[in-house]
Chain A
Amino acid sequence: MAELATRAVPLAGAHGGTASVRLKPASSAHRISLRAGEDAVSTLSTTLGLSLPTQPKTSASSGSRTALWLGPDEWLVIDEGEGGLVEAARSSGAVHSATDVSHRNTAILIEGPGSSDALNGGCPLDLSLKAFPVGSCARTLFGKIEVVLLRTGEQSFRLECWRSFSEYAFGLLREAALDAE
């Protein structure tokens, strides 16, 4: 019988944080990097089943899917359910580019009253609720790496990063959490 390669899950078993900043690896998800012009937004929104946000720093969710505005013609679409993102985009018939990045990225969930302080240990964004309300998202930096940050609640965030950088991100968050009350 042929031996099968087993897929290693990034950050499997990682744990850390404090009473005010809880850190945990997100479960695996489907993702696409989506590029499309203005005229393709409405048909892509229909076939993806959510309205692709067109305002900077905003996201839109529907069911298991969330679309994050990364740039004027660029989105990260995450599906924590059954997937089918590339197929949904393709069925729009609109001119676009959809690249499956499900396994390029992984995510860390940060929760608790100290979560924004811990993130600001390595991220220069203003994470006050006024400047970065619930649902806000941005591609930015965390320490030395590029990340995509999504605010999922007043005290909770999802940090998307490349899987090969995830140990660095987790380690830096763990350190920063020690300084965040």
Chain B
Amino acid sequence: MLLIHCPYCGESRSELEFRWAGEAHIARPENIAEISDEAFAEYFFIRDNTKGIAWERWRHIHGCGRFFNTIRDTVSDKFLLSYKAGLARQPVPGASEPVEGDAA
């Protein structure tokens, strides 16, 4: 059974209690009524779909109900870090520089 750490419950729980919620740190444009259709499509639909280290939102839907962010390797399915929603994009544990997308 895959265990996922929930930063609100403070412990690792069964993956069955969680739901994937897409790429993390997608910021809604401040001036959303003014941006072009292309810029809106970029914000709304286009995702990196990273192979490798990915920053993702997860939700502990059958536990505390909270959304939070993780760093997960989409190849090995290994979770490297979980952190609370609202925190900035966290560096990859053990890496000297923050890694962007699949540049690792």
Contact of B1 among A71, A72, A124 (CB under 8 A): A124
A-B residue pairs in contact (CB < 8 Å), sample of 11:
A56-B8, A57-B9, A71-B8, A71-B65, A72-B64, A74-B65, A124-B17, A138-B9, A139-B62, A141-B14, A146-B62
Interface residue A140 (Cβ < 8 Å from any Cβ of B): yes
Interface residue A70 (Cβ < 8 Å from any Cβ of B): yes
Closest-CB distance, A127 to chain B (whole angstroms): 12
Interface residue A94 (Cβ < 8 Å from any Cβ of B): no
Closest-CB distance, B15 to chain A (whole angstroms): 9
Interface hits, A123-149 → B, CB 8 Å: 124-125, 138-141, 146
Q: How far is the CA of A56 from the CA of B66 in the complex (A)?
A: 12
Prevailing SS type, chain A contact patch:
strand
Contact of A70 among B1, B11, B65 (CB under 8 A): B65
18 more contacts with CB within 8 A, not counting A70-B65, A139-B62, A139-B64, are A56-B8, A56-B10, A56-B11, A56-B64, A71-B8, A71-B63, A71-B65, A72-B8, A72-B66, A74-B64, A124-B14, A125-B14, A138-B9, A139-B65, A140-B13, A141-B14, A141-B16, A146-B62
Interface hits, B1-30 → A, CB 8 Å: 1, 8-11, 13-14, 16-17
Which residues of A are in contact with B by a Cβ distance under 8 Å? 56-57, 70-72, 74, 124-125, 138-141, 146
Closest-CB distance, B34 to chain A (whole angstroms): 33
A71 x B64 contact (CB < 8 A): yes
A141 x B17 contact (CB < 8 A): yes
Q: How far is the CA of A140 from the CA of B6 in the complex (A)?
A: 13
Closest-CB distance, B66 to chain A (whole angstroms): 6
A138 x B8 contact (CB < 8 A): no
